Amino acid sequence: DAKTTQPPSMDCAEGRAANLPCNHSTISGNEYVYWYRQIHSQGPQYIIHGLKNNETNEMASLIITEDRKSSTLILPHATLRDTAVYYCIVRPQAAGNKLTFGGGTRVLVKP
């Protein structure tokens, strides 16, 4: 699986948008970009994924650059409950492909 690079930590003000960057310059054509988060002591939670088009769901938006070498996860209105470690992972969508977690970005939402 392609390697990803994320900043180790970032702070965000409550109510503001949080923009989380991820670099994946070696991504392959069949690899999707997945985002998960882990709130303290809980199991990881799926957020969103995409291939090349921008995606939006009830939790977040995913913006993927045209060359697919980087992406940004946007939490539109961060709340205190969004404080977590956010993981950007690239891998094929096919069944049976495990997720390989890196260090992620530790996001602290401050009041």
Partner 1 sequence: NAGVMQNPRHLVRRRGQEARLRCSPMKGHSHVYWYRQLPEEGLKFMVYLQKENIIDESGMPKERFSAEFPKEGPSILRIQQVVRGDSAAYFCASSRGTGEYTGELFFGEGSRLTVL
Residues that bind partner 1 (CB under 8 A): 32, 34, 38, 41-46, 49, 91-104
CB of 3 to partner 1, least distance (A): 14
What residues have CB less than 8 Å from 21, skipping those under 6 apart? 6, 7, 70, 71, 72
Residue nearer to partner 1 on the CB measure, 68 or 104: 104
- What amino acid is encoded at 76 in this protein? P
CB of 26 to partner 1, least distance (A): 19
CB of 58 to partner 1, least distance (A): 15
Q: How far apart are CA 96 and CA 107, in angstroms?
A: 29
Residue nearer to partner 1 on the CB measure, 26 or 45: 45
